[in-house]
Structure 1
Amino acid sequence: MRASDRAYRTLRSEILDGTVPPGSLLQEVEQSTRLGVSRTPVREALRQLAADGLVVASGRGTVVTAVSRQDIAALYELREALESRAAGLAAKRAEETPFRAIRDRLLDAPRLLSEGESGLAEYFAIVDDLDAAIEQAAANRFLGAALRSVQLHSARIRRLSRHNPDRLLEAAREHLLIVDAILARDAELAAHATHVHLHRSLGNALATAPEAEPDASDVA
């Protein structure tokens, strides 16, 4: 793996899981030392992160972008349009095998969510696999590209609910309903179950989001 790709993946993961929070200043020299690469790979990584919308240039360097309540609402508007459509297409086109496997894993969600960070990571891996399975089953490369962009930013919002076990259990049941609808070949139900899940997730995200997060202007 190229040094720039390694730096990009590391920084992206840290931004998405909140290890590097909004408003953090990412300076090339500091990051190159920390990541053990030269400044050129870090510069390339920061350029990729800017294209993703995860960082923005400021007067002092590169700053991790904020996620405002308005951003959350706007993102969920797009998610509903894309993910509901994708779930409906998956119900029409999917092979059963991957969804049956995911269903079995979702049934184990209550146990996983009681096991702390390791179980939480495993549960989120199931959710990621479900997203990937739906994208593949929908079999629309343009829709898939849009979904991947949205899911990148959704991962930042997901951290807001990671310490809300009741909501996570509800979300696991909602995911199970989506899978069951896909397995039943019911496109309308799959789309509706996705709509309900996103509606409830949005309510939780807005309820737990800070009123404001620092942006580039705060550290410029």
Structure 2
Amino acid sequence: MRTSERVYSALREEILEGILAPGAPLGEIEQSERLGVSRTPLREALSRLQADGLVAARGGRGLVVAGLSLEDVRHLFEIREALEVKAASLAAQRRDPAVFEGLRDELRDAGERLASEASRDGFYALTARMDAEIDQAAANPYLLAALRSVRAHVARLRRLSSDDESRLREATQEHLLIVDAIIDGSPTMAAHATELHLHRSLASILRSVNAADPEEIPA
């Protein structure tokens, strides 16, 4: 793996996991020393992260981890709805039912073990795998490329609501509705179930940030 690729992956993971919080400075000297690399691959990595929308220039401070405003969140969910609803609909038409039957069993089991942090981490990994299987079943490389870009930002929003156990249990049922519709080969129901899930997810995030600074939402 090229050094710039390794640095990009490391910084991206730290941003998505919240280790590098919104507004955190990304000075070249400090980051190159911390990561043990020269400034050239670091610049390449930061340039890619800026193109992803995860890093932004801030006057007088150089590059910083990008924040997410309420307007950003709403815009993100608008594009999520367009892309994910279509992906679920296509997946219902083109799926291998056995794949989604296995996911359904895993979702049911995961939903019963959400009290511990380890179980929540497993649930997040499972829903990410579900997204990947839907993408693969949809079999549209252009749609997949667009979704890959959006999901980097979606991952940053997870901490705003997903650690609420009651919301996680609701989300489990919503994911099961999506999977059931895909197994049944119903594009209309898969689309409706996905739209419902996104609507409730957005409402949960907006409730979670109600008492926070409305202009800068932490990931």
TM over 0.5: yes
Q: Partner of 1:31 in structure 2?
A: 31
Counterparts of 1:163 and 1:83 in 2: how far apart (Å)? 22
Divergent runs of 4+, >3 A: none
1:214 Cα shift? 7.7
Task: Report SS of the residue matched to 1:25.
Answer: coil
Task: Provide, for residues 68-126 of structure 1, a one-character-per-residue CA deviation record: whole Å limited to 9, x for no partner.
Answer: 1111111111111111111011000011222122112111223442121x222211111
Task: Report SS of the residue matched to 2:51.
Answer: helix
Residues 26 and 137 (structure 1), Cα distance of their counterparts in 2 relative to 1, 3 Å cut: same
Q: Is 1:213 aligned with 2:216?
A: yes
Which deviates more from structure 2 when the two are superposed, residues 206-215 or residues 75-84? 206-215
Counterparts of 2:57 and 2:104 in 1: how far apart (Å)? 43
Q: Is 1:49 aligned with 2:49?
A: yes
Asked if the contact 2:69–2:217 (Cα under 8 Å) also holds between the matched residues in 1, the reply is: no
Q: Partner of 2:19 in structure 1?
A: 19
Q: Partner of 1:76 in structure 2?
A: 77
Counterparts of 2:166 and 2:184 in 1: how far apart (Å)? 27
Counterparts of 1:42 and 1:169 in 2: how far apart (Å)? 41
Please list every run of 5 or more consecutive structure 2 residues that lacks an aligned counterpart in the other structure. Answer: none
Task: Provide, for residues 160-193 of structure 1, a one-character-per-residue CA deviation record: whole Å limited to 9, x for no partner.
Answer: 1132111011111100110010000011000000
Asked if the contact 1:135–1:144 (Cα under 8 Å) also holds between the matched residues in 2, the reply is: yes
Q: Is 1:5 aligned with 2:5?
A: yes
Counterparts of 2:177 and 2:106 in 1: how far apart (Å)? 13
Identity across the alignment (%): 53
Task: Report SS of the residue matched to 1:114.
Answer: coil
Asked if the contact 2:120–2:163 (Cα under 8 Å) also holds between the matched residues in 1, the reply is: no
Q: Which amino acid aligns with 2:98?
A: T
- Give runs of aligned pairs for residues 145-160 of structure 1, distance below 5 A: 145-160=145-160
1:2 Cα shift? 1.8
Please list every run of 5 or more consecutive structure 1 residues that lacks an aligned counterpart in the other structure. Answer: 216-220
Counterparts of 2:120 and 2:41 in 1: how far apart (Å)? 32
Residues 214 and 192 (structure 1), Cα distance of their counterparts in 2 relative to 1, 3 Å cut: closer
Asked if the contact 1:56–1:65 (Cα under 8 Å) also holds between the matched residues in 2, the reply is: yes
Aligned residues: 214
Counterparts of 1:214 and 1:192 in 2: how far apart (Å)? 29
Q: Which amino acid aligns with 2:77?
A: Y
- Give runs of aligned pairs for residues 65-144 of structure 1, distance below 5 A: 65-116=66-117, 118-144=118-144
Please tell me the root mean square deviation across aligned C-alpha atoms, in Å.
1.5
Which deviates more from structure 2 when the two are superposed, residues 103-112 or residues 178-187? 103-112
Q: Which amino acid aligns with 1:78?
A: I
Asked if the contact 2:178–2:190 (Cα under 8 Å) also holds between the matched residues in 1, the reply is: yes
Counterparts of 2:3 and 2:114 in 1: how far apart (Å)? 35
